[in-house]
Amino acid sequence: MSEQLNALDRQSDESGVAESIGSFAVKFDAGASSRSKVLYANGRMQVKVQVVVAGLDRDGNVVAVSDEVMESIRLIHYDSGKTLRNGWRASAEQGRFTLALAHNPNAMEDEDDGNEDASDQRRVRTFWVSSENVETIQIGASIKFADTVIRSNGTTLSSRHDSSISIEAILPVTYAIEQFRWEDVWYDGGFRNQRIYKYYLGLYPHSQQVKLVDWIAEGPVKNVVFAFGNKVEAWNAAFQAGILLRPDREVFNVSLPYAETSGSTPDSISFIHREKDYEVRVNDRVGELTVVQVLSPVARDQLPADRSEVFRFTALDQFGTEHKLAIRTDFKERSFRLERG
């Protein structure tokens, strides 16, 4: 009697445990039917790819596979069966430039693709795929189960599964300098002829906005003072500066020099150098970057400075594509001109 009970216990323990892979599918979304998508081959733009897996127990019932099995999943080149390479990358982390909405952090939880009876047993592994090469590839997946690597390209004799999606990586778009909008707007000033301007940098090809979301420059990771002049020869602007702001900044504090005089006779007159503080609201246009220009007729009581070389930087658009640009400073004309970098 005890032997029969032990046998029943063993059968009960084994039921519900995956003994084989029942379904193994590669999709763009767990419930999506689309089999192809396009992205820019800039190494940043990502497409969400999901692998949906369910197991079968000894009785043929659909059951969930283990965490260990799910962690073994890799995306592969469908033709060769090798993991993604040659400029293609599959990451578990979602970047800033994706074709999909932000992914649910419970990526390996249940998802529904229309099969109500089995949906609670299917598990999903999510990847974010990018490419640096211009080409079209077919992507499958591999999974390790019971010491066997099973591929979704139909080559595993003991467990045949055939599922893939196609991604076309196309050449990133290059825009003429005329398609960038470079607009200067007066912001504040009037105190002793001090002036503050904001320059807005946007991208509007064919009158349609492509949002600019960040920039890259050599060296600094924060705001860049790309132009600085003190005691320069310019009408009513002995002090000048230009600052490119990080897109996550909302307010920028800046101070401008001015001088107060004391004394009543020519021999007794002296100058007291002071600073007036300003709070500038920046990045107040969606999809445009902000440059702040400050000017004062009075210089700081410091050594002369003339740092007005061409400033080269790279703007990033909403798709992660780089646009090499430059700002040319002219202190005499009190201006910044946008150029191709």
pLDDT 10s digits, 133-182: 999 999 999 999 999 999 999 999 888 999 999 999 999 999 999 999 99
Residue-wise pLDDT tens digits, 276-321: 999 999 999 999 999 999 999 999 999 999 999 999 999 999 999 9
pLDDT in tens, 184-214: 999 987 788 899 999 999 999 999 999 999 9
Q: What pLDDT is recorded for position 263?
A: 58
Model pTM score? 0.82
Q: Rounded CA gap, 51 and 19, in Å?
A: 19
Mean pLDDT of all residues in 37-65? 96
Short-list 178, 183, 172, CA closest to 339:
178
For the chain, helix (H) and strand (E) counts, in that order, are 2, 22
Tell me, letter by letter, the H, E, C secondary structure of the chain. Answer: CHHHHHHHHHHHHHCCCCCEEEEEEEECCCCCCCCEEEEECCCCCEEEEEEEEEEECCCCCEECCCHHHHHCCEEEECCCCCECCCCEEEECCCCCCECCCCCCCCCCCCCCCCCCCCHHHCEEEEEEEEECCCEEEEEEEEEEECCEEEECECCCCCCCCECCEEEEEECCCCCCHHHEEEEEEEEEECHHHCEEEEEEEEECHHHCCCCEEEEECCCCCCCEEEEEEECCCCCCCCEEEEEECCCCCCEEEEEEEEEEEECCCCCCCEEEEEEEEEEEECCCCCCCEEEEEEEECCCCCCCCEEECCCEEEEEEECCCCEEEEEEEEECCCCEEEEEEC
Write down the pLDDT at residue 5: 41
The pLDDT of residue 106 is above 50 = no
Residue 64, phi-psi category: left (phi > 0), alpha (psi -120 to 50), beta (remainder): beta
Supply the mean pLDDT for the chain. 88
Average pLDDT over residues 231-258: 94
For the chain, which domains are there? 2-170 (2.60.40.10), 177-340 (no CATH)
